[in-house]
Amino acid sequence: MIWLNPAAAVLLAVVTGVLLERRFGPLVASLRAAAPASRQDRWGDRLRGVAVLALGQRRLLSWPFSGIAHLLIFWGFLVLNLEIIQAGLEALVPPLNLERQYWWGPIAFLQDLLAAAVLVGLALAALNRYVLRPRRFLGSHQRDATVILILIALVIVTQLGIYGTQIAVGADGVVNLRPFSDAVAGIFRGEGTPAIWAWHELFLWAHLLLIAGFLLYLARSKHLHILTAIPNVLFRSLEPAGRHLPLLDIENSESFGVSRSEQLSWKQQLDLLTCTECGRCQSHCPAFNTGKPLSPKLLITDLRDAVLARARGEAPPAGFWHEGGGEAGPGLLGWSIEEETLWSCTTCGACVEQCPVVIEHVPVIVEMRRSLVLEESRLPREAQRALESVEQRGNPFGMAADTRMRWAEGLDVPILAEHPEAEYLYWVGCATAFDESNWPTARALVAVLRAAGVDFAVLGQEEVCNGDPARRLGNEYLFQTQAQQVVGTLERRRVRKVIASCPHCLNTLANEYPDLGGRFEVVHHTQLLSRLLDEGRIQLGRELADGRLTYHDPCYLGRWNGEYDAPRRLLQAIPGVKLTEMKRSREEAMCCGAGGGRIFMEEIRGERVNRVRVRQAEATGAARAALACPFCATMFTEGIGSQDLGARLGSADVAVLVAESMGLSY
């Protein structure tokens, strides 16, 4: 009955095509109708990202066991695509058998080798999922994963059966360069030729039907990432940690942020469809790991369910992570995503940094906060008070504006209005200026800059909050108001170079102000001090009282702005210093808990993030934690004091340690 193969193959292709259009058509239509997102720049960087992140699986391989399992399955599937075409051609045109071509031999060998590799990868994946069961799988769709593993295994087994039966029957001209199929052939040798050909036909059609079923199943599976992962990596944000936030047109927009699935951009929807539910984001999330109602993974899957339901014209499903929630409706907030889930985020960017397909969790969380704040005026009371203080007093701490320069008493710090030719503006920042525990950082930095002969000045009373807290908390209107005021002041004072002690200020001034026309050369104080050290303008000659140090990476300096080395270079240049890294450091560093406006809110669920991080620092045996952010300094001070660790662990900014080694008083 082999002569029926071509007609049956055509029928199978047509039916599969029609069903695929029905399944995938609504998803494609949803993407095409979604809000725009500009991702068509720097194609060289985008293609390199595909090579490293998608094809090279760099982030997955950071966890070798599961990474190797996925790598074997991934590359096996890439080559399997060629085998699928081969099987389809054999069904359509039986006389066209590539196995008879000598030039096909190396390709056949590679196909067979990778088929075996896929089976090994599946075994490792099954061991990981059903025996080892890491906590990051919490909330993932177990049944879906099981179905996919079984389908992939059956596709590979039938592939080996197709070529094993050809080898067993001794088909004329077949070039046997398939070692694993040859092993399968041993099962059939000794049977009659008609029986072996019948098995061959069974394997061939089972193989094609399984592939068709697999493709149809993907439309409702988390394994849709098989089709969307490479495009998602290609169109990723080229900025670290997903820090890019679109600038809202406050005056002309009809809505603000995201409260309904149709308001998501096509890239945000593609993110949702690409989630692999691997849980790497969840495993590194400071909120999730301290008992808060936020799992970046489940946030994404809840949003994905909402998008898929709308695309298919179905009733939206209830979110499975939140507790309670309102009645199911067309929106996202209140039924699919809890408000407290959004406010739990510290915007540290660990989720984006860890995601193997570069999903941008943080921007969509902030977009949803925008909707809550700007459209419904709903935000935690403490956060509301902080934003009101920004409006009324120019800082989020509720302090009188005329106390901004108290940190500098007795130092005779130059004011820019009186010293307009200064090379650098030292942007002190509200957290440093108004929190007395951070005053030593500013005073030490001033002493070091003077010793190095750096020409600098401060704005004094002209300095106001740059709007970072407002933007992270979702009040884009207030952010733009503050930003425009600051940009106007800096341009009026002809500022071109800025030193920032606060990584949050650094990020806002350097990366977000250009959208509003403010372009300045902004450096963090550790970056400038490291440069001065290299130039020989500062000398680190004295040993510290106790040189056992550990360094805490601020999220907005490290993940958000890629600076990990400058603070470490400074610390390691101090005589006698022994720098011990925490278990989670650099790209994997844990947040102090202050970002995303959390420093202005109480933690009412689970454990305080900063206390967990302080214990991680204390576990290194260091005498002091070296810091490079005033928010982190405040959180470490509380974490050390509240846990009675002061006898074993202290904390100090890198600038303070540098000043100590230089023998400076301040």
Q: With pLDDT > 90 as the criterion, what percentage of the chain qualifies?
A: 51
pLDDT tens-place string over residues 10-63: 787 788 888 888 888 888 888 888 888 888 888 999 999 999 988 888 888 888
Helix residue ranges per DSSP H, 128-224: 142-169, 179-188, 193-218
pTM for the whole structure? 0.86
Confidence of residue 333 (pLDDT cuts 50, 70, 90): low
- To the nearest 10 degrees (0 to 180), the angle between helices 5-33 and 266-274 is 130
Residue 11 tokens read as 């029928």
pLDDT tens-place string over residues 445-502: 999 999 999 999 999 999 999 999 999 999 999 999 999 999 999 999 999 999 999 9
Backbone angles phi, psi at 651, to 5 degrees: -150, 150
Helix (H) or strand (E) holding 424: strand 424-427
Q: What is the pLDDT of residue 1?
A: 37
pLDDT tens-place string over residues 390-426: 999 999 999 998 899 999 998 989 999 999 999 999 9
CA distance 114 to 221: 24
Give the residue-averaged pLDDT of 91-115: 72
User: Is the distance from CB of 535 to CB of 546 less than 8 angstroms?
Assistant: no
Other C-beta atoms lying within 10 Å of the C-beta of residue 315? 11
CA atoms within 13 Å, Cβ hemisphere of 183:
9
Confidence of residue 246 (pLDDT cuts 50, 70, 90): confident
Give the residue-averaged pLDDT of 188-216: 85
Closest CA to 430 of 629, 626, 601: 629
Residue 113 tokens read as 């080798």
